[in-house]
A and B are shown apart, each in its own frame.
Chain A
Amino acid sequence: MNLMQHWLSSDNEQYMPIVGAVAENKTINGKANLEVFSLTLQELAAADKNIVVVTSDSRGSGKLVPFGQKFPKQIVEIGIAEQNLVGVAAGLASAGKKAFAVSPACFLTARALEQIKNDVAYSDNPVKLIGISAGVSYGALGSTHHSLHDYAVLRAINNITVVAPADNYETAEAIKLAAAMEKPIYLRFGKKNMPDLKPESNVPFQFGKGRIIREGDDVAFIATGETVYPALKAADKLEENYRIRVRVISMHTIKPLDYELIAATANKCKAIITVEEHSVYGGLGEACASFLLQNGISKPFKIIGIPDEYTVTGSQNEIFDHYGISESGLANTALELIQKTK
């Protein structure tokens, strides 16, 4: 009897919890997505003078110092004034510029939310909003600097695409597509070095189409942004220790959501876990749950994210670990959920 048969036949036995390293302990050779954003933009700007960066004293944190040095006529420094940042970017975009408004995600999507809603989305000015150091990237700097609301608020605004690339490849592709896009878009990046996820199926990146990073039919992790990597590690651990086959999806586009892939995943897998560096309210998890419920699809389902509480103090990795967005945390969540499938 293999482990799979074992867990399917077991009524009483509990799985031993997996105790493992958090994501940072595995070798990561990639760059921070933020840095890839800057490098990609420099490539694009060299060939297109209409590429313009608008920043709110965020050249350093946005890895944009080299961009400013190479393309001084293609950068507009606003100073620390996010509302104005977005309004000016809307004006630049409406006058033909491919405006990338770059600011920490926490300020960009809260302080300037009305400008995003009206000047970008409602006025249909194709600004590329770049939320840097997103989620809990700022770690112990605390909640003022965390963006755990951005998916929720932007999902509720018409006419804006919301994207959180998982790795360097997705980041580079997303920036290239965003530059050519004539509609509003929000992209968020963390500042941690990321691995190349090397998906099993080599599907080209496109907005609104999730990427299957790893195939499996027992449990699915539908993850986004920097949480895809710990989900992938948890999947490896589950297969290695329990022969539980796990599908891992990088659902880089939060809106429009890839409903087709969610439905296919629900059809294929016995349980679904969503994972996001965001409040458990209003983000990827609730978007998936809403879709499944409204289509009569019932599966053991769990939303993993940051709960509705004062976020624990710690580095991004410590916060991830604390809330179970880690190899061991996600593997254990999967094991618990599997019990419900029996």
Chain B
Amino acid sequence: MFKMQHAQMTVIELNRKSIEYRKKIITYIYGANAGHTGGSLSCVDILNVLYNHVLDVNPGNFSSPDRDRYIQSKGHTVEALYVVLADKGFFPEEDLKTLCSYKSDYIGHPTKKVNGIEQNTGALGHGLPIAVGNAIAAKMDEKKFRVFTLLGDGELPEGSNWEAALTAAHYKLDNLCAILDYNKLQISGTTAEVCNTEPIDAKFESFGWSVQHVDGHDINALIKIFDGLPFEKDKPSLVIAHTTKGKGVSFMENQVRWHHGVPDANQFETAINEFDAALAVIG
């Protein structure tokens, strides 16, 4: 089977991309006066590595039954996904100026109206069951495509995740990889305070998954961990990506209020300046 090869991007190039993505996320959220800022900033490095290194999916093969699938279960951080998909050429970045505006296709959660998006998500606890269905279909047809889904830590208490986790292990779906964007904050406080889901790794392992931890902002570590999939033959894989909500903007990091906070003009300028300074360091 033909696999599209990603242009080999260096870790430095990917790091630069991450900062550029962050700038765009903040820019479009600021422009729309709406969006899930903190979570978009926590998951964007994961999306960067997925779309620029891991996934066999691009505008040219998106209608192919053999493409890899990415389903964003934590749909509210769609701004990160939109920015990455625009960069990959699925649609003109210009379109994002209509984010959340009247009659725009670019709504505040993933929608198949937007080229490159697999499923309409946004209600939590839905991505993993659909991903399991995709992965079972691949096994049935002996296809080589892989299925990835990004889970939020705040959505883990949804029972449907655990139902799907059972099914994934039962059917030995080693073509499935779930990634947990573990920023440890949700809208009402820390995940530990709201509903303690720890130990997450032991729980998934007891369900029959193979689990690894990674720094979700370390591009090199993310590359290595995804290159090691599946972690074990005949087992679904879970990547627990430890992240920081609001990553990259000093006053947003680890602050609950930036879950869907939108920067004002001064905050926007400060954030852009911080990104530009970070880009200057990379060179």
**A interface residues (Cβ-Cβ under 8 A, vs B):** 52, 73, 76, 78-79, 81, 83-84, 86-97, 99, 114-115, 118-119, 122-125
Q: Is the CB of A123 within 8 A of B119?
A: yes
Across the interface, do A52 and B131 meet the contact criterion of CB distance under 8 Å?
Answer: no
> Provided the pairs A88-B132, A114-B123, A119-B119 are in contact, do residues A95 and B138 lie with their beta carbons within 8 angstroms?
yes
Residues of B contacting A123 in the complex (Cβ-Cβ under 8 angstroms): 112, 119-120, 130
CA distance A99 to B133 in the complex (A): 10
Q: B232 an interface residue at 8 Å Cβ cutoff?
A: no
Q: With contacts A81-B163, A91-B131, A96-B141 known, what are 16 further pairs, Cβ within 8 A?
A: A79-B170, A84-B132, A84-B160, A84-B167, A87-B126, A88-B129, A89-B133, A90-B133, A91-B132, A91-B135, A92-B133, A95-B137, A97-B137, A119-B129, A122-B120, A123-B120
CB of B166 within 8 Å of the partner chain = yes
CA gap between A114 and B124 in the complex, in Å: 10
Residues of B within 8 A of A83 (CB): 125, 129, 159-160, 163
Q: Are A95 and B129 in contact (CB under 8 A)?
A: no
Nearest to B110 among chain A residues (CB) is A123
**Distance in angstroms between the alpha carbons of A92 and B69 in the assembled complex:** 12
Say whether A115 contacts B129, CB under 8 Å: yes
Query: Which residues of the other chain, B, contact A118 by a CB distance below 8 angstroms?
Result: 120-123, 126
B-chain residues with CB within 8 Å of residue A124 when the two chains form the complex: 112, 120
| CB closest residue in chain B, given A95 | B137
- Identity of the chain B residue whose Cβ is nearest the Cβ of A80 in the assembled complex: B163
CB contacts (< 8 Å) of B166 on chain A: these are 79, 81, 84
Which B residues touch A115, using CB under 8 A?
126, 129, 160
Which DSSP category, helix, strand, loop or mixed, fits chain B's interface? helix
The residue on B at minimum CB distance from A124 is: B112
User: When A93-B133, A97-B140 are in contact, do A88 and B167 touch as well, CB less than 8 Å?
Assistant: yes
Task: Say if the beta carbon of B118 comes within 8 Å of chain A.
Answer: yes
Q: For window 164-220 of chain B, which residues contact chain A by CB distance below 8 Å? A: 164, 166-167, 170-171
B52 at the interface (CB under 8 A from A): no
Please, which residue of chain B has its CB at the minimum distance from the CB of A56? Answer: B163
Rounded to whole angstroms, the CA-CA distance of A135 and B59 in the bound complex is 46
A79 contacts across to B, CB distance below 8 A = 166-167, 170
- With a cutoff of 8 Å between Cβ atoms, the chain A residues found around residue B72 in the complex are none
Contact check: which of A87, A92, A99, A125 meets B160 at CB < 8 Å?
Answer: A87
Name, among B65, B138, B140, B141, the residue most crowded by chain A CB atoms within 10 Å (CB to CB).
Answer: B140
| Nearest Cβ on chain B to A49's Cβ, whole angstroms | 8
Given contacts A78-B167, A118-B123, are A84 and B129 in contact (CB under 8 A)?
A: yes
A91 to B126, CA, bound (A): 10
A88 touches B130 (CB 8 A): yes
Answer whether A91 and B137 are a contact pair too, CB < 8 Å, given A118-B123, A119-B130: yes
Q: Mark B99-134, 1 if CB is under 8 A from A, else 0.
A: 000000000000010000011111101101111111
